[in-house]
Structure 1
Amino acid sequence: MEIKKVSIVGLGALGILFGHHLSKKLPKADLRIIADQDRIKRYQTEGVYCNGEHCDFNYVTPDELVEPADLILFTVKYDGLKDAISAVKNHVGEQTILLSALNGITSEAIIGEAYGLNKVLYCVAQGMDAVKVGNQLTYDNMGMLSFGEHDPEIRSEKAERVAAFFDKTEVPYEVVSEMVKRQWGKFMLNVGVNQTVAIYESNYGEIQKEGPARETMIAAMREVIVLSEKEGIYLTEKDIDYWLTILATLSPEGKPSMAQDFDARRHSEVELFAGTVLKLADKHRISTPVNRDLYDRIKLFESNYDSK
């Protein structure tokens, strides 16, 4: 069954990036951006822009009755996942494929609880250097979506359908067999990069060069390697090397999402990164001092928002 109708929930950096790209490849009615009425009004009044181009999106509210989507892309932040799952209910049909571009290692299971894991492909968004300020998104590297099944022995019909669609619409992608390990690798990268750049109030350039920031980032990532062994995932130094190679391709002036949150004085996804590390460390009775320090410093920074 060919993928023709796509719905996106979450118009942050990734939602705009992939939405803008797909809007040039699909009929306007076949790409739907799901948002509540207040957000839609704001988007229509202020506009949404990607690399200086106005995004001509087709907006629908969660209550609107629509033909089921062939593919739904979740591009919200983790704290918006519960509302996003509810918002897509009218878009989910028997053949709908659900793809989550969220950070972390838990969103697929949560979405699967609502709609069935048989509809879900595991996914990692990697290699993009998008920066969103207000209603303006800019990026140099689009990155790609890596996806596959939880079971490394299976390359499913769902994955084949998505691959064929991405080929047709020229979305960069990779079908990955060991998706759980890839997700843990991206989680390891986020734990290092997002938190370090935020604390150093810098950009990718700061951690692409030798120095204290890069040392902090790699130390935080190595704590995830230890935890991965306890969880049966077995990341290694080779995985750090892989992700550092990806990191080297990003625009030095770009920033990860947590640093952008700091700039905008928004609460970050620290619970998804260091918070998860600390919970797993407690579970396995392991010390993770680098992530403990990052967690405490980030929480302290955020606690000062109201006082400044």
Structure 2
Amino acid sequence: MEIKKVTIIGLGALGILFGNHLSKRLPNGDLRIIADEKRIQKYKNDHVYCNGEKCNFHYVIPEESCEPADLLLFTVKYEGLHDAIQAVKNHVDENTIILSALNGITSEAIIGHTFGREHILYSVAQGMDAVKVGNKLTYDHMGMLCFGDQKPGIISERVKRVAAFFEKMDFPYQIDTNMDKRQWGKFMLNVGVNQTVAVYKSNYGEVQREGEARETMIAAMREVIALSEYEGINLTEADLNYWLSVLATLSPEGKPSMAQDLEARRYSEVPLFAGAVLEMGEKYQVPTPVNQKLFDTIKAIESTY
């Protein structure tokens, strides 16, 4: 069954990045962006821009009846996930494949609880250096979506369908047959990079070069490696080095979403990162002092809002 209808929920950095790419390659109306009426009016009045180009998006409200999506992409922030799940219900039927590009390691289970785990392919967005300011997104590297089945070692027909669609769309992707490890690796990177850049009020360049910030980042990542053993994931220094090599490809002037959130005086996703690390550290009696310090610092910044 060929993928033709695509729906995106969440028009943040990834939603704009993916949406802009697909909108140029799909027939008008086959890509739907879900948003409420107020947001749609704002998007239409102010427009949405990607690398200086005005995006041509087809918007639908959650209540609108429509043909279900063959592929549904979640690109919301974690705090908006539960509302997003309610908003996409008209777009899901028994054949819909769902990919979540959210940070953290829990969104697939949450989405699957409503729609069924059989709809979910596990995925990780990596290698993009997009920065969103207001209604304008800029990036140097689009990165890619890595995806696969939850069960390791297999490539299902659903994975093959998505891969065939991405090939047709010239959409950068990679199939991974060990998505648990891939997700934990990205989680490790986020714990290090997102929080460190936010605390040091800097950019990727700050943690790409030797210095205190990079040392803090790597120390935070090593705390995740220690915890991964208790979860049966068993990340290693080789995994750390792989994700540091991904980091090295990003534009030094770019910055992760957490740093952008704190600059804009928005509450961050620190519960997904240091918060999750501290919770697991307490569960397994594993010391996590670096993440404790990052958590406390970010919470202190947010307390000034």
TM-score, structure 1 normalization: 0.99
The residue that corresponds to 2:240 in the other structure is 240
The residue that corresponds to 1:289 in the other structure is 289
* TM superposition shift of 1:154: 1.8
The residue that corresponds to 1:102 in the other structure is 102
**1:151-190 to 2 correspondence within 5 Å?**
151-190=151-190
The residue that corresponds to 1:249 in the other structure is 249
Which amino acid is the alignment partner of residue 85 of structure 2? Answer: I
The residue that corresponds to 1:270 in the other structure is 270
* TM superposition shift of 1:195: 0.2
The residue that corresponds to 1:134 in the other structure is 134
**1:1-308 to 2 correspondence within 5 Å?**
1-305=1-305
Deviations 1:128-157 (A, max 9, x none): 000000000000000000000111122111
| Partner SS state of residue 182, structure 1 | helix
| Partner SS state of residue 29, structure 1 | coil
C-alpha separation between the residues in 1 aligned to 2:87 and 2:144? Answer: 25
* TM superposition shift of 1:262: 1.1
May I ask how many residue pairs the two structures share in their alignment?
305
Identity value in percent: 70
Which amino acid is the alignment partner of residue 35 of structure 1? Answer: A
Which amino acid is the alignment partner of residue 115 of structure 1? Answer: F
Which amino acid is the alignment partner of residue 59 of structure 1? Answer: Y
| Partner SS state of residue 151, structure 1 | coil
Which amino acid is the alignment partner of residue 171 of structure 2? Answer: V
TM-align CA RMSD: 0.4
Structure 1: 5+ residue stretches without partners? none
C-alpha separation between the residues in 1 aligned to 2:28 and 2:9? Answer: 16
Structure 2: 5+ residue stretches without partners? none
* TM superposition shift of 1:94: 1.2
244-253 or 150-159, larger mean C-alpha shift:
150-159
C-alpha separation between the residues in 1 aligned to 2:193 and 2:73? Answer: 24
C-alpha separation between the residues in 2 aligned to 1:28 and 1:203? Answer: 37
| Partner SS state of residue 253, structure 1 | coil
* TM superposition shift of 1:205: 0.3
C-alpha separation between the residues in 1 aligned to 2:265 and 2:99? Answer: 29
| Partner SS state of residue 185, structure 2 | helix
